[in-house]
Amino acid sequence: MIDILMPRLSDTMTEGAIAAWHKQPGDAVSPGELLVEIETDKALMEQEAYEAGTLAEILVQVGENVPIGTPIARLDDGREPADPAPQPDAARRAASPLVRRIARERGLDLAAVRGSGPGGRIVRADLDPAGSPSPTGPLSPSKGTPGPLSPPGSLSPSKGTPGSPSPTGSLSPSKGTPGSPSPTGSLSPSKGTAGPPRTPGPLSPSKGTPPPQPPSPATVPFDAIRRTIAARLTESATTVPSFTATASADVEDLLGLRARLNEAADEEEPRISVNDLLVRAVALALRTHPGVNASYSAEGGGATVRHDAIHLGIAVASPAGLVVPVVRDADRLAVRSIAASTRELGRRAAARTLAPDELADGTFTISNLGMYGVEHFTAIINPPQGAILAVGAARPELALVEGRPVERRRLRYTLTSDHRIIDGALAAEFLATLTRLLEHPLRIIA
């Protein structure tokens, strides 16, 4: 059985409509015969059959519009459907625990990685294709490493649990499950090696081939996180019609408030940064303008998806590259809680120990380069979010206060918006609300 797919008939074609079927279910089809007429964005085109057989089923009726690659009919070529290859489905890619840990720490999307292990399993080598000797040892010595050896008494009073791999001289009531559940009869004359069934899985790419040439000195091949960044931002920059709008606020009072909050804090409380106040202010501004806390959806003829929750992504430079941990429900957190949360997320980003759920579900992103002294900049939207705020440094400027020039510090920030769902006026209203909050900082903590 062969699936006939909606063909790509031009470079710009993304979907096509069936104009006419020239064969009906039960008809014999031979290669070269006219099968179907397809209407594209450019033209009406005839499509021939490539294989011989009997048209078994029409899946897309005349007039219906489907994306390229969609099965439109099934051709019975007399062969049984092949067993689905052991290719992992999108929901659960087979990946070794080591790979899953690395993906978790680097925020990698394994869907983009081709697995070369048995059955398509993603193994460590697939993440670092350059073949460089990469550190595979314990990344953090404190994590998951077994505790020190206890004296190996034959009767140690502590109950050894298998979860903590300490030598068990005595009691170890472990409930074990076999790794490879092949039932072994009471007498099975085959030799007792246990392991995966010997499927002729894909061989290692390096086997029997000369080692890959070292890359030239100026070339640093992308690792998977860099590939993900490149793919997502290219998609955003090339498919999202975006515009930018810049505003600024006098943050003298904000900085004064921050100083007072930190003076009043206990030793053990986290110190509050300008960014923490900014996160809270943005969250409040988003609550006022839910149209900015939204995503574009292509469903139907297109839709604006307004998010109930306000989950703010904070762009962080980590050793692995850009990561965006998420402060969940930022509008419901006190500034002190936001400070504790962003500090912990930043620490874990640096240690590459962020969990997937700490990187997921952001509804809006803040990128702050103020600590580098950047005056202002524009950021690229992090899809599927609708907008991103790029924040510069608070810089001293001359201002007129009651007609007299005084030195005041101003902060500039630029909102990049997806114009499909956010119009200029909405972006401006959001920025105005944000500016009012920043210039009246008690409203941020009230």
Interface residues with another protein (CB under 8 A)?
A: 96-101, 116-118, 121, 123-126, 136-138, 144-149, 152-155, 162-172, 174, 176, 178-180, 184-196, 198, 201, 203-207, 211
Q: How far is the CB of 196 from another protein (least distance, A)?
A: 6
Q: How far is the CB of 177 from another protein (least distance, A)?
A: 8
Question: Which residue's structure tokens are 């997320």?
Answer: 345
Q: How far is the CB of 375 from another protein (least distance, A)?
A: 43
Q: Output 30 or 188, the one with its CB closest to another protein.
A: 188
Residue 119, CA distances (Å) to 86, 93, 98, 200 in order: 5, 10, 17, 9
SS3 label, residue 439: helix
Tokens of 327: 């402060």
Q: How far is the CB of 169 from another protein (least distance, A)?
A: 4
Q: How far is the CB of 116 from another protein (least distance, A)?
A: 6
Neighbours of 405 (CB within 10 A): 9
Q: Output 223 or 331, the one with its CB closest to another protein.
A: 223
The CA distance from 7 to 4, in Å, is 9
Residue 332, CA distances (Å) to 335, 354, 445 in order: 10, 22, 11
Q: How far is the CB of 420 from another protein (least distance, A)?
A: 41
Residue 72 DSSP code: E
Q: Which of 20, 19, 52, 48 is nearest to 35 (CA)?
A: 48
Q: Which of 70, 73, 84 is nearest to 35 (CA)?
A: 73
The CA distance from 367 to 244, in Å, is 14
Question: Which residue's structure tokens are 């500034």?
Answer: 335
Q: Output 149 or 446, the one with its CB closest to another protein.
A: 149
Residues in the chain, total: 446
Q: Output 34 or 203, the one with its CB closest to another protein.
A: 203
Q: Output 10 or 170, the one with its CB closest to another protein.
A: 170
Q: Output 117 or 370, the one with its CB closest to another protein.
A: 117
